[in-house]
Amino acid sequence: MAQQDRDQQVSDEFVDDVTDAKEREAAHRERGTSRPITVVGNPVLHKECKDVTAFDDALAQLIDDMFASQRTAEGVGLAANQIGVDLKVFVYDCLDDEGVRHVGAVCNPVLDELPAGRRVLDDSNEGCLSVPGAYAELPRPDYAVVRGQDAKGEPIVVQGTGYFARCLQHETDHLYGYLYIDRLSKRDRKDALKQMAEREPRYPVVAND
């Protein structure tokens, strides 16, 4: 196989989440209903979510609601458990480091293990809608590949670089019960929670009992 053919095969493997990004996000959002965001301490955020097995109208509505909720909270990614739903699905509306907008939804995501040569760490700041008002530096690979299914159950593969790679890793983490603060040192985690306590959320949240 010629190098050009190999490059085309690699390119074809990944979902096109760029074309009509603005229009697709707007359509999801207009069909959806915004829901309040669950925050750290809510049990649904701290356990692995259930696999999506029914690719039906209820799932489509959930995805629409997630896009609406994400826009209300001014986020770039949102996992289902962040609106209290115990299912492995996340949505995203995120720019990469080149300013290209990516919009999509992934069910049952699994991150690829990267070869050593692709594991270049980026230690940029990270935040989370479920830890409102808090930010901390967190090293993550600047490239990510997520495999899963779309809203109809068809296999998809999503790749991201830079900020978008961070988003894909962050949202996949959510669905396995991890918040970004769980990957921080004890001191940095304590500082993030202090930041959260000192600031009022700018969007509706679900108060923990």
φ, ψ for residue 56, nearest 5 deg: -125, -170
The type of residue at 106 is: V
Report residue 53 as tokens.
Answer: 């097995």
Six token digits for residue 199:
């600031």
* Catalytic one of 154, 171, 198, 200: 171
Separation between Cα atoms, residue 157 and residue 176, nearest integer Å? 18
Query: Does the annotation count 171 as an active-site position?
Result: yes
Assign 34 to helix, strand or coil. coil
Query: Number of H helices and number of E strands within the chain?
Result: 5, 11
Nearest Cα residue to 10 out of 159, 168, 165, 155? 159
Residues 8 and 146: their CA atoms lie apart, in Å, by: 19
Which residues make Cβ contacts (< 8 Å) with residue 204, sequence separation at least 6?
Answer: 34, 36, 37, 72
Q: What angle do CA 125, 128, 133 make, to 5 degrees?
A: 80
Active site residues: 171
